[in-house]
Each structure stands twice: as structure tokens, then as C-alpha cells.
């Protein structure tokens, strides 16, 4: 029977361990290896992982395989069964426990197997929600495959294939493309005459999608019928229950958020289980505060275990929601608090969340009332902190400005209240 599979919270030493292992591998393999990279869940901060360092070894040539395996054997690595990736796999064990401490995935650098390994790792690194989804899948699979590492690995294959497919369309985000419109606005579907296209729809010539056909695309933000259109890809539409994914192209410079795009493509996407990845993201939340008896203002700061960061209560705006409704919903989902937003306070900030995504956040202000209960999915801890400590936890000058603005707003109200209740104003 195999040893039991375990999942551990991300440990800082994994990164150092991987760096040292990669340094040794590069030194030993020399010119045989074109690239050596840390992959697997231990390379993605914030998610649970089997505590084994996975490393991809990209050989410069297939002719180097015998020599590379010989040198790796000299380092203490042994061959283990291959899997669906087609990579040669090797592992090294801890002397103290006999358990694997490092695993190698050996293939030709630049091959499909190599690209898939790096793409999957990078996608999880850049998409926090997808990384959390992967973590939840592993937790579920552990119940069934705790003593079956091969079954555990195979059970993750469908998820991995889906992410690799997502990456095919996501790589076009932010790029300018020309669309040939074969179904202009106002036309009807060639096979379903009851479906009329409210927006232009076509394809990107020369670019193939996962289904082997040219990539389809919606044109957002242009109402008149078109024959061709050149613009910027602002979103990708992923269909979980179909082999086709779509791009959404808009006039360059136009900003649109997920709820707006979802409504524009709903006429067709309502028939599929779809999700959107957008280059412009909008979230709403609130600065939640309390005032101690001594007059000190404290702010609620939440710890997101997936990203390993501290934040204020906030989340993506949903279709049909106002900014205030989103803020109140997110406060309730993350803290269990039902609050009222203070009138007169609204602050905005924007920042990049990845190489292609810009996030716009709107913050309101709310005074804490009642007992706090953390949500089960994202938030694992919280603190009440004074302004300086809260800003240090949150990090970033822009977030600091939002908290400072809240402090000034609250104190102005407190001072106004003191003047109102002073003897000078009493009757």
C-alpha cells in the first residue's frame, strides 16, 4: 500500500528549497538542460499542496536524455512511473522518512509537454480564484485517493486540461485583433432562426481555437452592422460544457466590466455554462471600523489564505447589483455582519492584478455592529488595527490613502458630535 497522501499549507521554505534544488540541477546538468523551473502546487502561494517540490527539467535535445538520466542518478534521483504528460519522471527521497522530497518532470524544452507544465503553473499563479478551485478539488479527491497517488493524479487530469484550454484564449487578452464579421448585428442564427444577434459576431482569421476551427469573437460596443472590425480583446468567454471558447473585442480604449459584457453576450451564452475572464475588473467593498471607549478608531483587516495577503472586505460586482449592494453583500459573506453604509464617503482606486488585468475598486464606509463570523472559503483570520497598523498590513500607498481618508471622515464626524454636545451648545 502507498503512503498516505497529505496536503499542507504553503510553507515559505518550499521556495528556498526549490531554488537550491534548481541550482544544483543546473550545475550538474550544465548544457544538457535548456531550462529548469519550479512547478506544481508548491510553486503557487496560498494553496494547499502535497509537500513535494516538483521541478520541470527542459532538455536542450532529446539526444541528451541518456546523459541527463545518468547525472540525475548520481544526484540520488530514481525513475518513477510516467503519467499522461509523457514526461520522464524521477524522484528523490528524504533519508529520514523515505518519502519523496523532490520530483522531476523531464522533457524537451519547448515541447508540448513542457509548455503545458509551465502554462498550468503560470495560470494558477496569475488567477487566484482558479488556484482556489484547484485546491478545493484536491481536498475532495483526497477523500477518495488518499492511498492511491496514481488515481489521485489521474483524477486531476480533466481540470488541468480545462485550464490549458482556458489559457489558449486568455493569451489574447489585451491584444489588438481584426475580426471578420459573418453574423452582423440584426442577423439571425443560420441554424436557429429564433436567435437574433443584437451585436456583431465573427471570427479571427488564421487563429485556431481548441475545437480546431478559427477563433470566434463577439464585437462589444458597436451597434451598427459591420463586415470587419479591428479592436482590443477585453474578455474571453469560457464554456465549461462545450469545446468552443470565444473572445470579446471592443473599440480600443473602451472600458467594460464583467456584468456589462455578460449581459451583451447573454443572448447566446445563456444556453451554456460559461464564465468570463476580463481585462477590466471591478470590485466594491467597505472600510469597516469601530471606535474604542478611549476614542481610538480601529479597522477590520481580513486575511485571505489563498493569496496570503491582508485586505479590506470587498468582491466582484455582480450583474444587476449597484456598488452599494455589492459592498454590503461582500461584507456579509466575508464577516457575517449586516451593516449600513455611511453617507458621504466613497473612494476609488485602481491597480494591476496581473500583466493583463486592471482592477478598479470602490470603497464605502461602515461602522461595525454585531458579532463577526468569518466566511468559510477565502477568509481565515482577521484583526482590528489602528490606522498605522492597518495600513502596514494592507500594504501599498494607494490603500493607505483610502484608510487615511476614512480616518479623516470619521474624526470629522466625531468632532462635530463633540461640538454639538458641548456646554456651549446645550440649552
Residue 197: pLDDT band (50, 70, 90) is: very high
- pLDDT, one tens digit per residue, over 290-323 is 999 999 999 999 998 766 788 999 999 988 899 9
pLDDT at position 418 is 63
Across the range 138-166, mean pLDDT stands at 88
Across the range 239-258, mean pLDDT stands at 91
- pLDDT, one tens digit per residue, over 118-131 is 999 988 988 777 88
Contact assessment for residue 310 and residue 379, using Cβ atoms and an 8 Å cutoff: no
- Domain edges within the chain: 12-127, 172-278, 281-418
pLDDT at position 420 is 57
Quote the cell numbers at residue 354.
496581473
pLDDT of 355 over the 70 cut: no
Residue 210: pLDDT band (50, 70, 90) is: confident
pLDDT of 425 over the 60 cut: no
Residue 304 backbone class (left: φ over 0; alpha: ψ -120 to 50; beta: rest): beta
**In the block, residue with C-alpha cell 460596443:** 221
Nearest to 171 by CA among 355, 360, 358: 355
Contact assessment for residue 149 and residue 2, using Cβ atoms and an 8 Å cutoff: yes
Residue 1: pLDDT band (50, 70, 90) is: very low
Specify burial of residue 321 (Cβ count, 10 A radius: 0-12, 13-18, 19+): middle
Q: Which of 50-59, 209-218, 277-286, 364-373 has the lowest mean pLDDT?
A: 209-218
CB atoms within 10 A of CB 42: 22
Contact assessment for residue 253 and residue 230, using Cβ atoms and an 8 Å cutoff: no
pLDDT at position 427 is 44
Nearest to 83 by CA among 100, 102, 106: 106
pLDDT of 14 over the 50 cut: yes
Residues 6+ positions from 149 with CB-CB distance below 8 Å: 2, 5
Q: Does domain 12-127 have CATH number 3.30.460.10?
A: yes
Contact assessment for residue 12 and residue 45, using Cβ atoms and an 8 Å cutoff: no
CA distances from 162 to 20, 134, 242, 295 (A): 32, 11, 11, 53
Residue 370: pLDDT band (50, 70, 90) is: confident
CATH superfamily of this structure's domain 172-278:
Inorganic pyrophosphatase (3.90.80.10)
Nearest to 365 by CA among 406, 421, 323, 324: 406
Q: Does domain 281-418 have CATH number 3.20.20.70?
A: no
Quote the cell numbers at residue 24.
544544483
Nearest to 209 by CA among 165, 174, 272: 165
pLDDT at position 304 is 83
Give the C-alpha separation, 308 to 314, whole Å: 16
Return mean pLDDT, the chain.
89
DSSP state at residue 320: T
- Where do the DSSP E strands lie in 14-153? 33-39, 53-59, 78-80, 88-93, 100-108
Give the C-alpha separation, 249 to 172, whole Å: 10
pLDDT of 394 over the 80 cut: yes
Predicted model pTM: 0.69
pLDDT at position 212 is 79
Amino acid at each position: 500500500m502507498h503512503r498516505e497522501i497529505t496536503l499542507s499549507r504553503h510553507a515559505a521554505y518550499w521556495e528556498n528549497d526549490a531554488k537550491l534544488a534548481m541550482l544544483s540541477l543546473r550545475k550538474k546538468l550544465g548544457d544538457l538542460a535548456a531550462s529548469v523551473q519550479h512547478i506544481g502546487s508548491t510553486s503557487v502561494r496560498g494553496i494547499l499542496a502535497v509537500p513535494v517540490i516538483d521541478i520541470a527539467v527542459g532538455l536542450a535535445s532529446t539526444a541528451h536524455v541518456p546523459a541527463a538520466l545518468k547525472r540525475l542518478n548520481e544526484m540520488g534521483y530514481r525513475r518513477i512511473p510516467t503519467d499522461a504528460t509523457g514526461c520522464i519522471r524521477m524522484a528523490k527521497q528524504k533519508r529520514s522518512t523515505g518519502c519523496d522530497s523532490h520530483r522531476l518532470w523531464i522533457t524537451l524544452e519547448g515541447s508540448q509537454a513542457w509548455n503545458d507544465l509551465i502554462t498550468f503553473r503560470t495560470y494558477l499563479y496569475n488567477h487566484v480564484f482558479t488556484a482556489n478551485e484547484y485546491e478545493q478539488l484536491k481536498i475532495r479527491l483526497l477523500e477518495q485517493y488518499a492511498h492511491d497517488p496514481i488515481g489521485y493524479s489521474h483524477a486531476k487530469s480533466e481540470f488541468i486540461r480545462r485550464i490549458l484550454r482556458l489559457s489558449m484564449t486568455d493569451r489574447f487578452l489585451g491584444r489588438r485583433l481584426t475580426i471578420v464579421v459573418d453574423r452582423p448585428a440584426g442577423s439571425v442564427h443560420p441554424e436557429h432562426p429564433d436567435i437574433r444577434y443584437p451585436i456583431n459576431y465573427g471570427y479571427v482569421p488564421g487563429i485556431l481555437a481548441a475545437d480546431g476551427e478559427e477563433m470566434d469573437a463577439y464585437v462589444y460596443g458597436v451597434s451598427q452592422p459591420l463586415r470587419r472590425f479591428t479592436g482590443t480583446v477585453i474578455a474571453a468567454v469560457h464554456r465549461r460544457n462545450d469545446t468552443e471558447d470565444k473572445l470579446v473585442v471592443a473599440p480600443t480604449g473602451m472600458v467594460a466590466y464583467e456584468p456589462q459584457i455578460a449581459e451583451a453576450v447573454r443572448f447566446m451564452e445563456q444556453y451554456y455554462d460559461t464564465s468570463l475572464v476580463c481585462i477590466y475588473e471591478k470590485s466594491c467593498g467597505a472600510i469597516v471600523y469601530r471606535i474604542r471607549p478611549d476614542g481610538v478608531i480601529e479597522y477590520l483587516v481580513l486575511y485571505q489564505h489563498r493569496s496570503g495577503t491582508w485586505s479590506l472586505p470587498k468582491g466582484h460586482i455582480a450583474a444587476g447589483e449597484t456598488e452599494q449592494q455589492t459592498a454590503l453583500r461582500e461584507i456579509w459573506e466575508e464577516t457575517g455582519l449586516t451593516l449600513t453604509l455611511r453617507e458621504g464617503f466613497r473612494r476609488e482606486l485602481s491597480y494591476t492584478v496581473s500583466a493583463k488585468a486592471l482592477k478598479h475598486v470602490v470603497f464605502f464606509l461602515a461602522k461595525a455592529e454585531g458579532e463577526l463570523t468569518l466566511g468559510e472559503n477565502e477568509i481565515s483570520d482577521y484583526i482590528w488595527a489602528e490606522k498605522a497598523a492597518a495600513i502596514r498590513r494592507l500594504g501599498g500607498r494607494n490603500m493607505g490613502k483610502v484608510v487615511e481618508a476614512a480616518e479623516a471622515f470619521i474624526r470629522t464626524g466625531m468632532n462635530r458630535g463633540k461640538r454639538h454636545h458641548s456646554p456651549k451648545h446645550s440649552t
